[in-house]
Amino acid sequence: MSDITLRLKPNEERRLRAGHLWVYSNEIDTARTPLKALPAGALCRVEDSRGKPLGTGYVNPHALLCARLLTGQAEASIDAGWFARRLRTAAALRERVYGQPYYRLAYGEADGLPGLVVDRYGEVLVVQIGTAGMEQLKGPLLEALQSEFAPQGIVLRNDSSAREAESLPLYVEEVGAVPETVLIEEGGVRFEVAMRGGQKTGWFYDQHANRDRLVRYARDARVLDVFSYVGGWALRAHGFGAKEVTCVDSSAAALDAAEHNAALNGASLETIKGQALDVLRQLGAEGRRFDLVVVDPPALIKRRKDHAEGLSLYGRLNRAALALLSPGGVLVSCSCSHHLEAEELQRVLLRESRAASRRLQILEEGGHGPDHPVHPAIPETRYLKGFFCAVQME
């Protein structure tokens, strides 16, 4: 319970009553709520303009998105027991879906835990805290994680630049015994994942379901995995019977890890270090052709103001990828940019295929899997797009 109250302006509660969890600073009645005087991260009671309670959340007066609801209960105690109940519910969902403990355990607002991501790597948990409110609750959060899952170790990978929007410091912290790497399994393929130096939390669980889809397209294929990181797409394709796999990444460490993962699975792969667009164009100049090309870049549109530049880069990448496909080949084109709608990516693919005199057929459309559930009132929880396309000659 909190003695701080946020009072909204008239009619600003409609989005919250519809299930959304966010409050913006321009929705606050600052005459009745001295927003700027409130401590960042403090728990608060949220009320509508008439004083009717909407729930309990936390506040950050220094951010445009100044409050997030944790629960619709205005008198809730946000303690280790509260976190344990939320985490228990999240874990039960994942355990129904996945046979092994390798998944995103908690996905922020979609699991009623705004500002929090937890990935599970067997006996190790990787935690990312993105808001001042969740940072203030780190103590009861860690207590709940330890009581519910008894992990060997917990890594707090709080080094994401997203924390800067909440004026939070960047740091990495460990609790318990954390190994350098952990071994996970996806679709019968083994991967060694770095717990400290890897991208994001070390592995991209959000593409699990899409990598499963390769079973339809990979057999006997020559596969090119662009932005390969540690070889997730390439080695899953190999597991489904691909005859050749090639990884492209700008990081030598990532490609070394991809080769190590290939050896773990008795596979061999080609690695090419370089900037993706440069490598794609060079492969085209060399006359190389592939039956399956995966283009899975990091977010190229991180902010709305980056939209035009990012959209242009998506176009150039997919244009270069199309040029490398053999007739009847398959292009897997992905985007994790929230600010790029699926329809926009589809238009990019249409435009570039027409410019290349190719006929494009969309076979499947994928998103993130069930360990990244979508909150129906919060479209921001849906971000991943993936098109599986057959590419024919005109």
Q: Indicate the angle between helix axes 80-97 and 138-149, nearest 10 degrees.
A: 50
One domain for residues 238 and 136: no
Which pLDDT score, from 0 to 100, does residue 352 have? Answer: 96
One domain for residues 172 and 238: no
- What order do you get walking across the sheet with 22-24 strand by strand? 5-7, 43-47, 53-59, 65-71, 22-24
C-alpha span between 72 and 52 (Å, rounded): 12
C-alpha span between 33 and 383 (Å, rounded): 34
Phi-psi region of 292 (alpha: psi -120 to 50; beta: other; left: phi over 0): beta
One domain for residues 188 and 175: no
Task: Give the CATH number for residue 372.
Answer: 3.40.50.150
One domain for residues 144 and 166: yes
Which of 179, 204, 228 represents a domain boundary (last residue)?
179
Per-residue pLDDT band for 1 (boundaries 50, 70, 90) equals: low
Strands (E) across the chain are located at 5-7, 22-24, 43-47, 53-59, 65-71, 102-107, 116-121, 124-129, 153-158, 171-176, 181-186, 189-194, 222-226, 244-249, 270-273, 290-295, 325-335, 358-366, 385-393
Which of 53, 71, 89 represents a domain boundary (last residue)?
71
One domain for residues 154 and 196: no
- Give me the amino acid identity at 35: L
CA 44 to each of CA 3, 55, 110: distance values in angstroms, whole numbers, following the listed order: 7, 9, 20
Per-residue pLDDT band for 201 (boundaries 50, 70, 90) equals: confident
Phi-psi region of 27 (alpha: psi -120 to 50; beta: other; left: phi over 0): alpha
Q: What average pLDDT does this structure show over 54-62?
A: 96
Task: Give the CATH number for residue 120.
Answer: 3.30.750.80
One domain for residues 342 and 222: yes
Which pLDDT score, from 0 to 100, does residue 344 have? Answer: 96
One domain for residues 233 and 368: yes
Q: Which domain holds residue 125?
A: 80-179
**What confidence tens digit (pLDDT) does each residue in 261-275 have?**
999 999 999 999 999
Which of 135, 153, 179 represents a domain boundary (last residue)?
179
* 375: pLDDT strictly greater than 80: yes
One domain for residues 283 and 343: yes
Which pLDDT score, from 0 to 100, does residue 160 have? Answer: 87
Which residues are known catalytic residues? Answer: 336
One domain for residues 109 and 245: no
> Model-level pTM?
0.94
**What confidence tens digit (pLDDT) does each residue in 79-114 have?**
999 999 999 999 999 999 999 999 999 999 999 999
Q: What average pLDDT does this structure show over 31-51?
A: 94
Helical ranges in 27-97 per DSSP H? 80-97
C-alpha span between 195 and 181 (Å, rounded): 5
Residue 211 main-chain phi, psi, to 5 deg: -65, -30
Task: Give the CATH number for residue 51.
Answer: 2.30.130.10
Q: How high does pLDDT run on average in the chain? A: 95
One domain for residues 171 and 203: no
**What confidence tens digit (pLDDT) does each residue in 307-365 have?**
999 999 999 999 999 999 999 999 999 999 999 999 999 999 999 999 999 999 999 99
Per-residue pLDDT band for 200 (boundaries 50, 70, 90) equals: confident
Q: What percentage of the chain reaches a pLDDT higher than 90?
A: 93
Length of the chain: 394
One domain for residues 242 and 383: yes
Tokens standing for residue 115: 């500002």
In the chain, how many domains are there? 3
Which pLDDT score, from 0 to 100, does residue 117 have? Answer: 97
Q: Is residue 215 within 8 Å of residue 245, measured between CB atoms?
A: no
One domain for residues 169 and 192: no
C-alpha span between 11 and 310 (Å, rounded): 36
